[in-house]
Every structure is written in C-alpha cells, then in structure tokens.
Structure 1
C-alpha cells in the first residue's frame, strides 16, 4: 500500500519549491530565435551546425545546436531516422494552442535515438514550456546502479511556470531508464520512463491538456509513466485534461502507470506487464501496475494488467489500485490476470469517497481479489464484476489490512458488493472488513469457504460461463466470460442507478430493467 507517500511529499515540497530538478544544462542565457513556422532538420551523420538547418540537405548535426535555439509556434524539429545522439535534447521556447512545436523524425528506418549514460536528468526535457508534441523517438538513460540519482526518459517539468498546457507525448520507445528507488530530496514515484511533474509548492503550478499516447515503455523505473501534480487539493489547483492512452509498459521497477493530483484524468486502453520487478532493502517497495491517486473524478478503463510482482516488502502487487484521496474515482472495463497481489486495492486512510469498481474481469489473480486498506472508503460500490480463480490457488476473494490507516482508517463505513460472479475453484476465503458491507444478488459458485458473506439474494448454481479460465493476454481475449443460454445470471441482478450504461463488452445496461450478474449483460450464447 502507498501509505508512505503522503508523508514524504510534505517533507520534500520545500526542497524543490524554487528551482528545476538538476539537469545537464542550466537555463537563463539568451538563445538565437528560430524562423517562424520553419522546419529544422538534424542529421548526426551528415549534418553540420553551420548549416541553415531548414532542409534535409542543409541539416544541423548536434542537439546542442537545437538546445541553443528558441523555437516559435509552428516550428518542427525533425531528427533523422537511424541517427544516435548521446546528449540531452532541451530545446527552448513554447508553441501556441493552435500551432504547437513538434519534435519528430524524418526518413525511413529506426527511430532516432537520444540517450544518456546514466546521467542525472532526462535525454528529452522541457521546463515550464507549453504547446509541444514529442513523437517518434527512441530514448534511454541506463546506469548499472540506481543509487540516489533521479533519471528519466522524457521529462516535462513545471516549477513556477503557472499552467503548462497542451503537451502531447506519443509513439515513442522509452527503455533502459534506471531510476532511483530512494526518497533523496523528492518522492521517487514521480520519476521514470515518461514523467510529467510539478515539483514546487505553489498550487497555481499545474498541467492542462496532457496526452501520453501510444508509447512503449520498457525496462524503466521507478515508474513507467507518471503525471504528478504536487499541490492539487484546493479548487483550481489540480491538473486537468490528462489522458494516458494506448500505452504499453513492461518490466517496470515499481508502478506501471501513476496519476497523482489530477481532476478528471483518463487512463484508457493501456497494458501493464511485469511491474514491481525490483526492490531495495530499507526502501518503500510497494507497487501496483495501474493506479490513480490524490484527485477527483478520474476514470481508469479498458486496461490490462498482468504479472505484477509482490517481492519482499511489497504488500501490494495488485493489477489496479484506487489510492489515497480518491474522490469519485471509477475503475471499469479492465482485465486483470495473474497478478501476485490480486486484482484491486481500495485504499482510504484519507478523505477518499465513492470508489466505483464495475464491469471488470479478474482471472487467476493471486493473494486477494479485493483488498480494503486503511479502512473503508465511504460509498465504495463493487458491482457486476466477474472473478475466476482456478484450482490450486489460495486466493482470498476479500481481505483487509492496515485498518487504522495511520489514524485515519475507519471500518465503520457502508460499502456495496452486488451482481458479481465469483467462480471460485481455489482454497482462499473471505475476510470481510467491518459490519456495514451490503452483499446482494451475487453468484458464489464453486468452493464455499467459511467466510463467504451472507447474501439474501445470492445464487450458488453454475453461472454457465461460455469458457471460464480461457482468457489470454489482451482485453479482447475474454469472450469466455460471457453467459451461455440458460445461465441463472441472465436478467437476475439488482437494478443499479447510474450504472455506466454499458458492460465490459459494450452491451447496453438499463437503469430500469433487471441486468445480468457479472461483467456481461448481453443475451445467452
């Protein structure tokens, strides 16, 4: 669980309140200005920095030349495919909302590569700059030892910049980023493969219109992809219009995708594989694959998380997590499988409220499917999920931990568990938190451990899933969790208002007629 993060954030905000995190290049010098709307070409093999740079045949050679230029709205900086630069790319200037500045590639072949050799900072860096597109690059920053050095792949920093807006990071390959696990002046969760971070103590520093899409992030840490807004709680301070879409994160030291301090963030159609692969003695080793925290009205949907590890010292290891200070977060249409810590962590220990977990599929997750930690988030509603646990697993369906939540935990809160299908062939139990859980209209099939909750409208008959346990890698491989003709789950669930309107498979869910139980609301097959 992420119980240490809040304390460390309070300590370290002051440290970076007025300055950039250390990077390779200092700021403050006047840079030559680019020509308006011009496209600049950079060719490490055949370019020359004395060239004009405005055509492929008169390309610049070094990123130092790029870094020495202040770019204007509509400019493009194109790096030649197949070329390699061992330097930090830190161009200056900002675009406009209608004419962003674009960093991309030209030519055919491998993506242009920008790398550092374990140096502090990031190979691609922007500081207090708006209206940029960063695309089609290969980026790395590898070190044999992680130590206390914060390394990133692509790093967007806002410190004293007010609202930094309209940043798109797409179609990049970020790998071999060796980030620190240690709280060495800042929270290490905020750094990793792709990091978009406010590092000051001023609530007016925030992000708007951040899109991170279609990137592959591998062999990176601490975090794969992170958007982090330090000071977010007051009205107007949280980052807005943040979207993390269609990315793949794999072999990540700790957390795969993390959103901190956002209003209305969307985490959609991402895949996280083998997160939590690294630990250090004496450090905070908790990790989950995909999790939003400290924010309001965030939605996590259509994602897949699998093979998340739970190494020594990692009490988490879940595929998904709704963490501290989650206000009205929704977790829906996700596929979780083979995660060592289970499917879902629901962490309060704060002011979290109204966590909704619906239309998800969990297959062969370990330890615990639903873990309540730090007390019970008031208004938690878990409905129309389908859970399959194969024979030989000792997976608990429900459990709870860290009940006092550092003095903020409360087990005396109501929560709701309805219309779920639990297909349990394992030997785990239900360890129910508190006494105010409402269990209704669920199907509990297979093994019935002693802790199975009372449910006056439960069914214990075979739900007749089409082919349980047949899901593979991919959110579209779970058709086996639809219902067969004659299933007792068909049209036998409880009506739930404001139910999202669709099931996992895109079928309509009415708010006035009885739905199916489980994540599938279509007709029998």
Structure 2
C-alpha cells in the first residue's frame, strides 16, 4: 500500500509524517512532493528513502541543522529533486562541522557534509544554501558542502545535477584535497565492484570560503587506469560526461577546481577567485584524465610565497593525455599555467589571455622528472604591466622546460623581462616565431620578433567578466590595425578554428597572439563627467538590480548589471547617465573602474544576449568618487547609432566590474530585481526577490559635454538660469561643470570652469524644481517592477 499525494501541505505535517511511517515501511511515495518547513520535518526526512519523481522541497528563508542524507534512485523520466519552495532567500542547511557515521557500514569512513548523496542516481540538487563549519581548522575531518559518494555498485551512477546552490564556510582554513565544496567520489571499499559516474553537471553554483578544494571529482586509485599510456579512448571506470560550467569559486583553502579520473570532461565559463589561501595549489587542474578541455574560464588572485611551486591559473597535470587549455583569461596569479614533467602527453595550450600574472608565464613542475611528451603552446597573449619584471619560463624558481613547442605567442612587457634562467636548458624544446616586446628572447628562438606588437589598448585588468558573451571588454589586447604582426605566424594544423574573441580563423591562418587583428565593437571612446548632471531628481530613472551571486561578502557588485531596452526609431546615443557609489573598502576610493557594453537581444523580456552583437564596448572606465546623491554622465566622443527594433527584439546595456577598486550602486531600497550574470538579461524570464543594489540609468541623444550643450534652454545664450539647472546639487567637491559662459565670450571652455569655481566655490543654490531642461530625447520615467515605460524613443523593460 502506498500513500499518494502531490500536495502534502494539505495535511498537518505531523500527521503526514505519521502516515508516511505507518503506511510506507519501504520507500516513500512515488511522485510525491515533500515540503520541509520545520526542523522536525528535516529530521524526519533527512535519512529517508525516496522514489522516482519525488520532490524534496525545503522552505525558503528557513535554517535547518544537521546533515541532509536522503537515499533513493530516480529514473531518466522521473528524477528525484532536492530544492526549495516559497519566497525569500535560499533555505540554509548547516551541519556545523559535525561528523556522522558512514551511511551503511559501522566500520566505514565517517562523513561530514551539508548534503550527502550516497549511491544515488537521477537526482537534481538546486537552490540550496549549504554551510558546514564548526569554527575549527582541523585536518582530520574531511568536511564537505555537497558530497556525492558512490561505493561498491560496480557501475556508473547516472545523471547527478548540482545547480544554482550557494555553498560557503566549509571549515575555511583547511588545505587538503579530499575535502571541499562539491566533491564526487567513487570507490569499492568492500568489493571489486568499482563505482563511477556518468553525466554529471555542476552548474551556476557559488562557492566561497571553502576549506580544501572548491569542486572536485575522484575515483579510488586502484579502480582507474592511468590515462597517459592507456591504449584506448575510453576507460571503463572513468567519469564520463562531466560538465562544469558557470560556477563562481572563491577563497578556497586549496585549488578551486580539480578534475580527476575523467574522460572528455568540459570545464567552461567558471571563475576562480583567490584560490589556495592556505596551501599552494593551481586554480584549475586535471589529473589522470583523457581529453579534458578547460575553456572560457577566468582565474585570478592565486598568490602566496615567492617560492610556492603551484600558483598558476591552470595546470596540465600528469598521468593525463589530450588536455586542452584554450580561450581562458588569467590575471594576478604567480603565472599563467603549470605543466607537469611526470608522465603526460598530447597537451595543447592556445588562444589564452594572460594579463599581469605576477612573475611570468609557464612553470614546469617536478624538475627532476622527464616523462612528459608532446606539449604545444601557440597563439597565447601575455601582457605584463610596468611594475612587473616577468620571467617567461620557470618564473622565480628556475624551472627547466621539456618537450614543448612554442609558436606565435605574444609576450609583451610595459617595462622589461627575460626568458628565464633555464629557458634554453630544456630537452626537445623549440621556440619558433614568437613575439618578445621588451623581453629578452631565449637564445634558441628560431625567429625572434621584438617590435612592439601594437596591442589595441592594453592595460585594463577587469575582474569577474562574463566569459561567454563579455570577452569584448578584453578587446584592448587584440592586435591593432597597425600591428607589424597582423600576419606571418606559423600555420598551425587543427588550430581550433576560433580565436579568443570567437572570430573564425581561416585555414592556414598565420595570426599571432590570442586574436585576430582589429577591435570590432570597441565603439567610440568616452569622457566621464560628474557633478549631479542629470537635470532633476524627479526625472531620474531608477531600476532595481540584483546580482546573480547572492551571499558574497560586502556590497561589491561582482557580477554584471544588465538592463534591456527597445528603440522605436533609429537613435543616436550620446550620453549615458549613471548613478553609482564608491566602495569604501576598495584600494583607491577616488577612482572606480567599470566596463560598459551594449548587446543585441532577441527578447527584451527574457533573453540570452546574442554573441557577437556588441554595439558598444568601453573598458576600464574611470568613474570618480561620487556621493550617493550624484549622477555621473558617460559622454561618447561620437554618437552611437542604435537601429530601430521590432517585435520583442531590443538591446541590453550591461555594466561589469573593471578591476580594483570595486564599485557599488546607489541604493533605493530592497526591490525585486531583473539583472543577472552569465550573459542573461533576464534569467529564464523569472524575476528574483531580495535585490538590494539599485542604480540610476538613463540614455540620451543629448550631448552634455561642456563645449557643445551648455544651453539647456535652447535660447541661444548661456545664462544664470541655464547654470542653475546644469549645476543642480553643486557642492560636491568632484563637480566638473561650469556655469556656462563666465567670460561672456559665448564659448563654454575650461576658463569658465576655473573662473566660476574660484569665484563662487560651493555657494551656488541648487536648481528649483520648476527649472527643468527639455533635452531632445531624454528618457524620463520611473519603473515599477513589471511595468513597461515609454518615453521619447525608448521603452525600458524591468
């Protein structure tokens, strides 16, 4: 007899629990919804066995104590779901570092996790907040956030999906690898029945302050062959179809992500921030794998002692073959990538961008080994700012390269650098046709190229960028049109077909560095003016915004803010009004850096940004400090023509962090938000609650630069009335706008600014509420959460 219902909330919870236990001595009801709203509910279900189609739903806004360890196997058509219901913040599971007995064996290894899945299949875990911290730093406890454990099954456990969770504070100051945020482990401790996994997806999770490794996979050593000399293409017990994407992983005790024992895993669009805080370890690495691909990831902040030997953004590790590291962005680590000299073969490193990695480019691990073969490094761009003195090979540790061919790479320093002490002492190492700007080439370089490569506009070091759709903010590292290296590189067979920015490569392409010549979509340059330039507060357009990384510490907007809009007739964009506030915890609060992009979208209501349709890309805009009541103006040097849109099509304007110092947005209260990271203007069309970062945004075809449009009244004169309107709220020490023609020569210029500020200082009376200018097509509206506002040529959708 089975108790069947899909609405358990219809009965009192205690009665439901009693009925479940009385009528279901075996697995609980098939296809049922289990609502957990109290600690008693949690305790009742946390070790229960569930059936295909069951939904285990924890109430949002609630905190539950203990390790949630449900059992059960779903099916391809009827998955088991562990998720949230209701409104508010994600439900929290806090295990407080408690160690629990093994789920089936008294003599088995104990476990400590917020969520344990044991021998489960066809399960989705989503929308949970998990922590597991007792405040200690002990090394004897393998603390986990989500632990997926398979034992003695003699098969692959299928389709386990971990998505949209927030995992943090997992006994933070812990360095070991066998612990961390999300960990998959397959073993055969009591039999010869090895257990592995197939179709694992770990996506859209945020992991912060995690002891050990952020995300990792592992098969017991005796159950998996080494890959480098495996004669076939697929190993019986390797993890198959591993996909790890769109995760933000920060402040880990060890590595951010480790892919062990996999065949053809894809690791893409992830961010590693400040990994290995308590022990040296490369941010991303693979071990004992076949065909691992790392692409479109960002890694930064992996730093420690100068003598640390594992401080790269990426690591091609040993017992592996066919590793590909491509289209990634690293910055601020000790070096870009590590390459292990123990047994490993067929490694490709291409079309990556390394900016300001502190000591150099390539580190070779295990100096006394020589078993690595066939590594090809081509078409990467490495840029080092002036205060760095890079060593390209073996930086600071005098490591010796092995079995590597370097072609078409660009190494550019703003000051000076060297090839490295042992760059020429390697075995079977070829340097052929690479660019060395302000860097001494290796003596063995076949064709050293030493002219300035003429990067388009280098120097910006943006953080937490959208690597799927937002790589345009790095377009300053493309080769400019006047580069001497627009062609002439060595043709590479099977070169991947695309450069770093997604431009197709023609057959036999001879491009240098990470990308083709050009800077498409960069758009006009811009000038930033401040001083509360928006005409009046009652016409400021306030739009609620919510970042997609809830729970990150502080108020830094670490992800993008995006707003969609439509244009009902061709519009010449000239000025972008923006309200913002500086981050008082940043390194230099006098200057905030942002990137600004405008993309095309198919649907302004719910759309993924269309790749390759950037209409405008401004990188590293320097916004002076403002107080919260001010509005800055980004004035384009030349107008950007936005074509008329039809139907649901439109545009999305997105703002992202351009580097340190950070920035935050003018607050107008906690309002529902509509802004998300990872290239989506609206995530699945669903607006999320709890947004606390709001910003003022308005677009105009009015040129408010000093020399062009001081006369808001359009009466042919610049007079005191115009000035009062222009200078509303004057008194901010950063105001940069003059009264207009203080010298009475009918030209608004820098002399006027000096005269007015020296004469009047900060004693100007703000404009009255009746003195409102009438710019030609200025957006004037205030949005409700789901309203559509039409004004002039704009329709903004919140």
**TM interval, short-chain normalised:** 0.7 to 0.9
Q: Alpha-carbon deviations, 1:181-238, whole Å to 9, x = none?
A: 57xxxxx413201111124465731111111000000000111111112232173121
Counterpart residue number, 1:228: 218
User: Is structure 2 residue 476 aligned with structure 1 residue 486?
Assistant: no
How far does residue 455 in structure 1 lie from its aligned partner after superposition?
A: 2.9
Tell me if structure 2 keeps the 8 A contact 1:386–1:420.
yes
For 1:445 and 1:149, the matched residues in 2 are separated by 50
Counterpart residue number, 2:38: 44
- Summarize the alignment of residues 140-289 of structure 1 with structure 2, pairs less than 5 Å apart: 140-147=131-138, 148-161=140-153, 162-178=155-171, 181=174, 188-200=176-188, 202=192, 204-230=194-220, 231-233=223-225, 235-278=235-278, 285-289=279-283
Tell me if structure 2 keeps the 8 A contact 1:229–1:260.
yes
Q: Alpha-carbon deviations, 1:473-516, whole Å to 9, x = none?
A: 1242311111111212212211100111111100112333x321
Give the direction of change, closer, same or farther, for the CA distance of 1:191–1:312 in structure 2 (3 Å limit): farther
User: Is structure 2 residue 72 aligned with structure 1 residue 93?
Assistant: yes
How far does residue 129 in structure 1 lie from its aligned partner after superposition?
A: 1.0
For 2:431 and 2:25, the matched residues in 1 are separated by 65
Tell me if structure 2 keeps the 8 A contact 1:385–1:420.
yes
Tell me if structure 2 keeps the 8 A contact 1:44–1:62.
yes
The counterpart of 2:386, out of the listed 391, 395, 411, is 391
Calculate the TM-score normalised by the size of structure 1. Answer: 0.83
Give the direction of change, closer, same or farther, for the CA distance of 1:41–1:213 in structure 2 (3 Å limit): same
Counterpart residue number, 1:130: 121
Tell me if structure 1 keeps the 8 A contact 2:82–2:126.
yes
| Partner SS for 2:476 | helix
For 1:98 and 1:106, the matched residues in 2 are separated by 22
| Partner SS for 1:63 | helix
| Partner SS for 1:357 | strand
| Partner SS for 1:204 | coil
The counterpart of 1:324, out of the listed 309, 318, 329, is 318
Q: Alpha-carbon deviations, 1:37-80, whole Å to 9, x = none?
A: 111111128xxxxxxxxxxxxxxx42222134321111111111
Counterpart residue number, 1:23: none
Aligned length: 459
Give the direction of change, closer, same or farther, for the CA distance of 1:293–1:511 in structure 2 (3 Å limit): farther
Tell me if structure 1 keeps the 8 A contact 2:186–2:194.
no
Give the direction of change, closer, same or farther, for the CA distance of 1:34–1:327 in structure 2 (3 Å limit): same
How far does residue 367 in structure 1 lie from its aligned partner after superposition?
A: 2.5
| Partner SS for 2:43 | helix
For 1:447 and 1:386, the matched residues in 2 are separated by 13
How far does residue 345 in structure 1 lie from its aligned partner after superposition?
A: 0.3
- Bigger Rg, structure 1 or 2: 2
For 2:25 and 2:337, the matched residues in 1 are separated by 50
How far does residue 402 in structure 1 lie from its aligned partner after superposition?
A: 9.5
User: Is structure 2 residue 290 aligned with structure 1 residue 302?
Assistant: no
Give the direction of change, closer, same or farther, for the CA distance of 1:520–1:66 in structure 2 (3 Å limit): same
For 2:145 and 2:120, the matched residues in 1 are separated by 17
Give the direction of change, closer, same or farther, for the CA distance of 1:414–1:290 in structure 2 (3 Å limit): closer
How far does residue 439 in structure 1 lie from its aligned partner after superposition?
A: 1.2
* Deviating 4+ runs (over 6 angstroms): 400-404
| Partner SS for 2:242 | strand
Counterpart residue number, 1:50: none
Give the direction of change, closer, same or farther, for the CA distance of 1:427–1:442 in structure 2 (3 Å limit): closer
For 1:41 and 1:35, the matched residues in 2 are separated by 13
Unaligned runs of at least 5 residues, structure 2: 1-23, 100-111, 227-234, 521-798
Counterpart residue number, 2:339: 346
**Mean Cα displacement is larger for which, 422-431 or 74-83?**
422-431
Give the direction of change, closer, same or farther, for the CA distance of 1:522–1:312 in structure 2 (3 Å limit): closer
For 2:244 and 2:291, the matched residues in 1 are separated by 15
For 1:316 and 1:68, the matched residues in 2 are separated by 40
Counterpart residue number, 1:421: 410
Q: Alpha-carbon deviations, 1:129-149, whole Å to 9, x = none?
A: 111000000000112222111
**Mean Cα displacement is larger for which, 289-298 or 142-151?**
142-151
Give the direction of change, closer, same or farther, for the CA distance of 1:313–1:177 in structure 2 (3 Å limit): farther
Tell me if structure 1 keeps the 8 A contact 2:97–2:113.
no
**Mean Cα displacement is larger for which, 150-159 or 202-211?**
202-211
Unaligned runs of at least 5 residues, structure 1: 1-29, 46-60, 183-187, 279-284, 405-409
For 1:139 and 1:255, the matched residues in 2 are separated by 19
For 1:510 and 1:190, the matched residues in 2 are separated by 45
For 1:277 and 1:36, the matched residues in 2 are separated by 45
- Summarize the alignment of residues 349-368 of structure 1 with structure 2, pairs less than 5 Å apart: 349-350=342-343, 352-368=344-360
How far does residue 414 in structure 1 lie from its aligned partner after superposition?
A: 3.1
Give the direction of change, closer, same or farther, for the CA distance of 1:403–1:441 in structure 2 (3 Å limit): closer
| Partner SS for 2:309 | coil
Tell me if structure 2 keeps the 8 A contact 1:390–1:426.
no
Tell me if structure 1 keeps the 8 A contact 2:307–2:397.
no
For 2:398 and 2:418, the matched residues in 1 are separated by 20
For 2:122 and 2:481, the matched residues in 1 are separated by 53
Give the direction of change, closer, same or farther, for the CA distance of 1:372–1:495 in structure 2 (3 Å limit): same
For 1:316 and 1:199, the matched residues in 2 are separated by 28
For 1:355 and 1:31, the matched residues in 2 are separated by 54
| Partner SS for 1:353 | strand
Give the direction of change, closer, same or farther, for the CA distance of 1:180–1:445 in structure 2 (3 Å limit): closer
Calculate the TM-score normalised by the size of structure 2. Answer: 0.55
Tell me if structure 1 keeps the 8 A contact 2:56–2:83.
yes
